[in-house]
Amino acid sequence: DAKTTQPPSMDCAEGRAANLPCNHSTISGNEYVYWYRQIHSQGPQYIIHGLKNNETNEMASLIITEDRKSSTLILPHATLRDTAVYYCIVRVAFGFGNEKLTFGTGTRLTIIP
Amino acid sequence: EAGVTQFPSHSVIEKGQTVTLRCDPISGHDNLYWYRRVMGKEIKFLLHFVKESKQDESGMPNNRFLAERTGGTYSTLKVQPAELEDSGVYFCASSQGHGTSISGELFFGEGSRLTVL
């Protein structure tokens, strides 16, 4: 799986949009971008994933650049409960055999009241 | 619907003893994964079951670790004998089979914290 680069930490004011960047310059054509987060000591939680089009769900939006070498996870209205470590992971398409997730160090997002 | 459950939530054992961790995946999920995080390190993949078969066990650190998934339902991870460096949090995750899942989303349990003294 391609490696990703994320800033180690970020702060965001409560109620504002949190924009978390991720670089994945060596991503392959069959690799998706996944985002997970880990709140305190809980198990990781899936947020969103995409291939090349922008995606949105009830939790977040994912913006992938046209060359697919970077992406941004957007939490539109951050709350204190969004304080967590956010992981950007690239992974081959589900069902092609290598479905394990490779976690990096992630970005520690702190929401400030 | 119940999520992924793990037992015990915390285990404290002495070096050389044996510990068995259990994971109950979400009902109907063919895929089951074990991960672990040792202190100060990243979350690392251990292995992946598809039903009762080991699909990928490339992350298992050594032969002191034995994972089983008899009958393709729950899974156990045994550490025997435990060493100090095995301390950490062991996460289990499950996902639906490829034919029924588009996202391949993994659902994680709360983890089992292992402390080896």
A98·B45 Cβ contact <8 A = no
Cα atoms in the 13 Å half-sphere on the side-chain side of A99: 26
Per-residue pLDDT tens digits for A42-59: 999 999 999 998 999 999
Cα dihedral A50, A55, A61, A65, rounded to 10, equals 70
Per-residue confidence band for B39, with pLDDT thresholds at 50, 70 and 90: confident
B58 C-beta neighbours (distance < 10 Å), count: 10
Contact residues on chain B for A5, CB-CB shorter than 8 A:
none
Q: Which residue of A has its CA nearest to B100?
A: A95
Q: Tokens 């991960």 identify what position?
A: B35
Least confident of A1-5, A26-30, B4-8, B11-15: A1-5
Per-residue pLDDT tens digits for B41-99: 999 999 999 899 998 999 999 999 999 998 889 999 999 999 999 999 999 999 886 65
For chain B, how far is it from start to end, CA to CA, in angstroms?
37
Q: Which residue of A has its CA nearest to B31?
A: A99
Distance separating alpha carbons of residues B1 and B61, to the nearest angstrom: 33
In DSSP notation, B40-78 reads: TS-EEEEEEEETTEEEE-TT--STTEEEE-GGGS-EEEE
Contact B20, B67 (CB under 8 A): no
Contact residues on chain B for A102, CB-CB shorter than 8 A:
45
- pLDDT for residue A31 is more than 90: no
